[in-house]
Structure 1
Amino acid sequence: MTVGTFFKRRVERLQPMVILGMTLGAIGFYYTDSALWPLIHTVPLWKLLLVLFIGYTVLPVPLSLDIRGWEEMHPLNSVGWSLFFEYIANIMYALFIRKFSKKSLSIFVVIAAIALAHMAITSSNGDVSGGWTLNTEQVYIGFIRTMYPFFAGLLMSRVAKPTRIKNAFLWCSLLVIVVLYMPRIGGAEHLWLNGLYESFCIIIVFPLIVYLGASGVIQGKAESKICKFLGDISYPLYLVHYPFVYFYVAWISNNKGVTFLEALPYALLILFGSILFAYISLKWYDEPIRKWLRRRFA
């Protein structure tokens, strides 16, 4: 596969949903004016449109264009920061890493794992949070957060041979639940312990979950349809959910005394509404456009 073909495929796969996600953020931007973001109404339209068009390219915006006030490199759809670093990883892959032998790639992945663990353990917060601001510190965090997962996945695709594991979905689900529901470890006096835990999860547990999932056996049409549905909407959901989250955060900030039970219906609306919108976007927008792009670039 040539470098040109590689980038054509990346544009075809990523860009339609990126454009939709950024557009949603722009449409709802002024409506999220709130106690948390009190200056949104002062942002001129030209600046909003400038940030929107830059967002379409997934290039980060400088702090001078931080129109929301959260110091995000993509103020209209925060999740764009991870796509920016994924683009960097894809460029590295297309230019030279795709030519690495298994041994060279393994060495690269080990170095990335060490860098990730060092960052998490020595972090001032004892975690890997960060990467969404265009400054030296945050760009470093984003780069380190991306390198190991991206290229460890590439290495697994080359060397791991999935087997047949019964109840793989159950084991994957249990591992995800344990990891996500585990409270912070170590407390304020031993933040490095939490960094060590997060490193262990990212470097060991998450690849294990991927391997277990790849080794799972799908039984029956119903299970197959469920798995396909979840796989199909994963990327669209990632791109469209955050503009809706902005509305929820704005509502919470304007209603400081709201209880959990009062907020629950709105939280559920955001959750299931995002899933529904992601599926509609997939079927009526993303797939038709990608089909057209395949014909256009073939």
Structure 2
Amino acid sequence: MTDKSLSAKPHYPILDGLRGVAAIIVVTFHLTEPLGTGHLDILVNHGYLAVDFFFLLSGFVIGYAYDDRWHKMTIGTFFKRRIERLQPMVILGMTLGAIGFYFTDSTIWPLIHTVPLWKMLLVMLIGYTILPVPLSMDIRGWEEMHPLNSVGWSLFFEYVANILYAIGIRKFSKTALGILVFIAAVALAHLAITSPNGDVSGGWTLNWEQGRVGITRTMFPFFAGLLLSRIAKPTRIKNAFLWCSLLVAIVLYMPRIGGAEQVWMNGIYESVCIIIIFPLIVYLGASGIIQSQTELKLSKFLGDISYPLYLVHYPLVYFYVAWISNHKGVTIVQAWPYALLILIGSIALAYITLKWYDEPVRKWLRKKLG
């Protein structure tokens, strides 16, 4: 995500809008996930690939916004900008997660009833830094590095990618960066095709196996996005927002490929999506022409709420998951009104926090950090 105050360059509103489309699909994924029996039958089966799409968008926008500014910007300045952009919502997201944790009552998380308040507050304070907590402090019992707000794991790896970019990879030539991206693509495909479930899902646990998943899912898309920002020559494409939104939805809503017997087929599908289709979507989005004020306003709205939505929706989803766990046998027909309520509530909460918290705090930080 870029900081608009940095640049007088042409902006890419369609890419902002696509980020919002993907964020809404993430919410629908998390709302259908507890209704499935496993990784084969979740209604929004590939919704988790939105994270890989976010990484690619982030790499593209970081390269576009910062690549030509290093002659007048220090590494410290770069990280001030990133902290200013990312941390306010991280802090709010962890706070909401702690509030939700304190008031949630569910058999699915038996640890909740035994966690002392001081330990929950300590996990929250560590969460504010986006540093992962060890398994010994997993107070929810899902083996998450951020048990108060599950999505924090991807922000941790976002920072890892930003650090790698700032301290060295930004200096790579196009050829060197291309070699890195090729190696990362091979590693990603190998992970997806050979993993026990035939997918890239994972990265949220602080151990060697899940750490490998997280860094592999980060390296290709983020630095492929960076490479794309350097080599792409956008054209002028009409209706790009519509077609790109449809492509994102088709990829993320695609049912499981191959079933339980041939999980490697799903791995191939996900590899193709991340390595080929996502860069194509970003290129088309960057080439798109905004054709009306309505399209511009919609893209701006979706882009503005995308990051707040990502950070505030999961604390609400926890209540929804608890309700499902406390009412065994709930079907999608019974759950959809509650799911719709959570979706609409999450979007409303995202907009409220954007206007009343995120934007004012970022403005204040910009002044304080210079």
Q: TM-score, normalised by structure 1?
A: 0.98
The equivalent of 1:260 in structure 2 is 332
The equivalent of 2:178 in structure 1 is 106
The equivalent of 1:147 in structure 2 is 219
1:7 aligns to 2:79 (yes or no): yes
**Which structure's relative contact order is higher, taking Cα pairs within 8 Å and 6+ residues apart?**
2
The equivalent of 1:18 in structure 2 is 90
1:49 paired residue among 104, 108, 121? 121
2:346 paired residue among 266, 269, 274? 274
CA distance in 2, matches of 1:128, 1:54: 27
1:215 paired residue among 284, 287, 303? 287
Q: Which amino acid aligns with 1:276?
A: A
1:97 paired residue among 165, 169, 194? 169
- Are the counterparts in 2 of residues 33 and 39 from structure 1 also a CA contact under 8 Å? no
1:204 aligns to 2:276 (yes or no): yes
CA distance in 2, matches of 1:89, 1:257: 41
Matches within 5 A, 1:1-298: 1-298=73-370
- Are the counterparts in 2 of residues 58 and 84 from structure 1 also a CA contact under 8 Å? yes
Distance 1:224 1:297, change over 3 A: same
1:195, distance to aligned residue in structure 2 (A): 0.5
Unmatched 5+ residue regions in structure 2? 1-72
Q: Which amino acid aligns with 1:105?
A: L
1:211, distance to aligned residue in structure 2 (A): 1.2
Unmatched 5+ residue regions in structure 1? none
- Are the counterparts in 1 of residues 238 and 291 from structure 2 also a CA contact under 8 Å? no
CA distance in 2, matches of 1:53, 1:153: 32
Q: Which amino acid aligns with 1:6?
A: F
Of the structure 1 ranges 235-244 and 173-182, higher mean CA displacement relative to structure 2 is found in: 173-182
1:239, distance to aligned residue in structure 2 (A): 0.8
- Are the counterparts in 2 of residues 30 and 41 from structure 1 also a CA contact under 8 Å? no
Residue correspondences, number:
298
Where 2:131 maps in the other structure, the secondary structure is coil
1:174, distance to aligned residue in structure 2 (A): 2.4
Distance 1:161 1:110, change over 3 A: same
Where 1:256 maps in the other structure, the secondary structure is coil
1:187, distance to aligned residue in structure 2 (A): 2.0
CA distance in 2, matches of 1:116, 1:179: 17
1:221, distance to aligned residue in structure 2 (A): 1.5
| 4+ residue segments displaced more than 4 Å | none
Query: What's the C-alpha RMSD, in Å, of the aligned pairs?
Result: 1.0
Of the structure 1 ranges 117-126 and 164-173, higher mean CA displacement relative to structure 2 is found in: 164-173
Q: Which amino acid aligns with 1:204?
A: I
CA distance in 2, matches of 1:270, 1:162: 38
CA distance in 1, matches of 2:188, 2:332: 35
Where 1:295 maps in the other structure, the secondary structure is helix
Render the CA deviation track for 1:162-212: whole Å, top value 9, x for unaligned. Answer: 111112122212212321222222222221111011000000011111111
1:119, distance to aligned residue in structure 2 (A): 0.6
CA distance in 2, matches of 1:11, 1:271: 28
- Are the counterparts in 1 of residues 189 and 268 from structure 2 also a CA contact under 8 Å? yes
- Are the counterparts in 1 of residues 247 and 281 from structure 2 also a CA contact under 8 Å? yes
Identity of aligned residues (%): 80
- Are the counterparts in 2 of residues 121 and 196 from structure 1 also a CA contact under 8 Å? yes
1:148, distance to aligned residue in structure 2 (A): 0.7
Q: TM-score, normalised by structure 2?
A: 0.79
CA distance in 2, matches of 1:233, 1:24: 17
Q: Which amino acid aligns with 2:308?
A: P
